[in-house]
Amino acid sequence: MQPPETDYDRSYSSRVHYPRAPASDRLVYLKLFPAGFFALALPVLAGENAILVSGLRMHVDRHESSGDVVRLYQGSGAIELPAASIAAFEADDYVAPPPPVSPSLPEISTERQPKSKNPKDMVRAAAERSGLPGAFVESVAKAESAFDSKAVSPKGAIGVMQLMPDTAHTLGADPRDPEQNIDAGTRLLRELLIKYDGDVAKALSAYNAGEKAVDRYRGVPPYSETQRYVDRVVRDYLKDQNRGQEPGASGQ
């Protein structure tokens, strides 16, 4: 998916791979809050972090609550989410308490399990190797191509994760090979989450519109398609989470 604006940049041809963070620092965006850590109504702030109940985080300029809906504002765009999907808001200067002592997070797994030709299975396997929630990566794949390994966009993005050829080359992948395409796209998502300190909205925007656009606007760029893309991925992910929490729901 690519917005029509002229400063769109998704080729990543000059992409720099960021040094791998220490195990204790990686995947900070997946941390869960201690039991009972839920905020009461907070005043509207100039800059704050919306913490989703899943543990994912989004940086926003401000928020407004109206009944069971919360509107999150970032730049010229806004996303409406169910209030129940947000655990808390943190001010920009919030300093999180030290995490409880726990074993170090595992390195990215390079071990390959028996191959499945099902794109959804490959997405789940790639997410597990990169330490990302499977449902989150699935939501991205669904928005990108509806899991179509033969999809090619008008601008030349290829496969399930809609990789540009230059991007795939930089990531050492053949974009027309479904498994390599999915693995590379998932690794790219991980890199973007690390670069943007776990900010889901920025990482998704960079995946859709390019890092230059996100860095230029210091957040979600004012592209209607990118804003819709971020909204769609987050909503689909939250719907999946809600389905998993329903009584009698089976594990995925």
Q: What is the pTM of this model?
A: 0.66
One domain for residues 119 and 49: no
What's at 199, amino acid-wise? D
**How does pLDDT run across 205-228, given as a tens digit for each residue?**
999 999 999 999 989 999 999 999
pLDDT higher than 70, residue 175: yes
Q: Which residue has the higher pLDDT, 242 or 37?
A: 242
* CATH, residue 133: 1.10.530.10
In a domain, 127, yes or no: yes
Given the residues 5, 48, 64, 144, the one annotated as active site: 144
One domain for residues 67 and 176: no
One domain for residues 47 and 135: no
Question: CA gyration radius for the chain?
Answer: 18
pLDDT higher than 70, residue 179: yes
In a domain, 49, yes or no: yes
One domain for residues 76 and 136: no
One domain for residues 72 and 156: no
* CATH, residue 43: 2.30.30
In a domain, 102, yes or no: no
One domain for residues 42 and 134: no
- The range of the structural domain enclosing residue 191 comes to 114-245
**CA–CA distance, 192 with 211 (Å, rounded to integer):** 8
In a domain, 39, yes or no: yes
Three state DSSP letters for 64-125: EEECCEEEEEECCEEEEEEHHHEEEEEECCCCCCCCCCCCCCCCCCCCCCCCCCCHHHHHHH
**How does pLDDT run across 85-138, given as a tens digit for each residue?**
888 888 876 444 554 444 343 455 555 555 778 999 999 999 999 999 999 999
In a domain, 215, yes or no: yes
Alpha helices, DSSP H, located in 146-177: 165-170
Q: For the chain, how many structural domains are there in total?
A: 2
The answer to whether residue 211 is catalytic is no
90 contacts 48 by C-beta, under 8 angstroms: yes
Sheet holding 69-74, edge to edge: 62-66, 69-74, 77-82
One domain for residues 162 and 231: yes
User: For the CA atoms of 6, 10, 16, 20, what is the dihedral angle to 10 degrees?
Assistant: 130
In a domain, 105, yes or no: no
Query: For 50, phi and psi rounded to 5 degrees?
Result: -95, 120
User: For the CA atoms of 155, 151, 223, 46, what is the dihedral angle to 10 degrees?
Assistant: -130
**CA–CA distance, 176 with 178 (Å, rounded to integer):** 6
Tokens of 252: 């995925």
**How does pLDDT run across 5-19, given as a tens digit for each residue?**
444 445 443 343 433
